[in-house]
């Protein structure tokens, strides 16, 4: 029915190399790496051979070129990426705590990403799209929010579908508009891809079974719950639950796993695969991604996923 599209931040990511170190003193960092949750997601769709496009804005600088070149090379439609003459490409600095949690210093709203809007190229891409994937981080950008709501309405009116990865980041939940649009998007979602905390937030309930039941009853067709190294689970209305164990891999960098997971699941479903096969491929995409340093370095082709599934041990 037309390409999968997403809207939102394209960033460079710069990471602390030492676990536990903060940003209050000098330390060694690595990067820049192409990043931004929507960018990672759409790059993974394209690498699997899915038609894919992104509405975004980068600066007229090396950080922007690094990203746009990668997306173009991997087959993403970049026609709706605006190059801002006045604003630099956004960035994210990441540090890792000893318990595996991450802290981010984001520079999104006051970067080129803050300038995302409904340009003629964006309208054109929306007019051709068959599916809209909403990344929760993008809802913190007022301009992106408007484009997302317009894209959802337009694509649904044409019989297209919507997926939503809440991807909540405490650093980005700073204005009421983000929460309001969160609920609006949820009401239009066909496929929800939350972590457990995000499932509870979406449902307003803290029991997993009750939260899933309530969201399915509200009209969400499929929920795929991401559980990190515990794997993932599928839930659908009047369909049996499917659990899928994670693959046993040595994690190098967890950032980007959820984005690749969601992209692989959606792309498999859009290619006509059943939920169990799509879940297996999504688990493989998440697992492969965490074995690379850099959020977008571990994206996979379908052939790479197939080969990985055939030989990788499960947890």
Give the total of residues touching ligand ADP (CB under 6 A): 19
Alpha-carbon torsion angle 48, 92, 166, 235, nearest 10: 40
Contacting range for ligand ADP; rule: CB under 6 A; set: 149-157, 213-221, 249-257, 294-302: 249-257
* Chain center to CA of 171: 17
Residue 255: name the closest of 3, 14, 2 by CA.
14
Where do runs of H (alpha helix) occur along 102-175? 120-128, 142-157
CA angle centred on 290, ends 286 and 293, rounded to 5°? 140
Selected from 34, 136, 258, 295, the binder of ligand ADP by CB under 6 A is 258
Residues in a beta bridge with 11: 35, 90
* Subset of residues 1 to 60 that bind ligand ADP, contact rule: CB under 6 A: none
**Residue 294 binds ligand ADP (CB under 6 A):** no
Selected from 131, 145, 226, 269, the binder of ligand ADP by CB under 6 A is 226
Q: Considering the complex, what minimum distance in angstroms separates the CB of residue 261 from ligand ADP? A: 4
**Residue 227 binds ligand ADP (CB under 6 A):** yes
* Subset of residues 180 to 199 that bind ligand ADP, contact rule: CB under 6 A: 195
Greatest alpha-carbon span in the chain: 54
**Residue 257 binds ligand ADP (CB under 6 A):** yes
Selected from 106, 247, 265, 308, the binder of ligand ADP by CB under 6 A is 247
37: Cβ contacts below 8 Å, ≥ 6 apart = 8, 9, 135, 137, 138, 165, 167, 259
Q: Considering the complex, what minimum distance in angstroms separates the CB of residue 2 from ligand ADP? A: 26
Alpha-carbon torsion angle 261, 267, 273, 278, nearest 10: 0
Rank residues 14 and 245 by Cβ distance to ligand ADP and give the closer one.
245
Interface ranges with ligand ADP (CB under 6 A): 195, 226-229, 231-232, 246-247, 249, 251, 254, 257-258, 261, 283, 286-287, 290
């Amino acid at each position: 029915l037309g390409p999968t599209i997403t809207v939102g931040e394209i960033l460079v990511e710069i990471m602390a190399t030492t676990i536990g170190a903060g940003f209050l003193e000098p330390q060694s960092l690595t990067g820049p790496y192409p990043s931004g949750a929507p960018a990672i997601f759409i790059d993974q769709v394209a690498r699997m051979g899915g038609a894919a496009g992104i509405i975004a804005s980068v600066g007229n600088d090396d950080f922007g070129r690094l990203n746009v070149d990668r997306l173009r090379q991997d087959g993403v439609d970049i026609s709706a990426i605006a190059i801002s003459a006045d604003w630099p490409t956004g960035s994210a600095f990441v540090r890792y705590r000893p318990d595996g949690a991450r802290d981010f210093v984001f520079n999104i709203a006051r970067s080129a990403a803050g300038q995302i809007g409904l340009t003629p190229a964006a309208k054109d891409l929306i007019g051709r799209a068959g599916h809209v994937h909403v990344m929760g981080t993008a809802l913190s950008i007022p301009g992106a929010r408007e484009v997302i709501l317009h894209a959802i309405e337009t694509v649904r009116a044409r019989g297209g579908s919507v997926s939503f990865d809440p991807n909540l980041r405490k650093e980005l939940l700073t204005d009421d508009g983000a929460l309001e649009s969160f609920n609006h998007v949820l009401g239009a979602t066909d496929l929800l891809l939350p972590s457990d905390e995000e499932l509870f937030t979406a449902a307003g309930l803290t029991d997993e079974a009750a939260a899933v039941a309530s969201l399915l009853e509200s009209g969400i067709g499929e929920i795929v719950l991401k559980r990190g190294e515990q794997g993932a689970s599928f839930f659908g209305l009047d369909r049996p639950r499917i659990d899928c164990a994670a693959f046993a891999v040595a994690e190098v960098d967890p950032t980007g796993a959820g984005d690749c997971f969601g992209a692989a699941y959606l792309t498999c479903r859009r290619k006509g695969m059943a939920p169990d096969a799509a879940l297996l491929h999504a688990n493989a995409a998440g697992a492969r991604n965490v074995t690379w340093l850099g959020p977008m370095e571990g994206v996979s082709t379908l052939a790479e996923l197939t080969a990985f599934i055939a030989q990788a041990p499960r947890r």
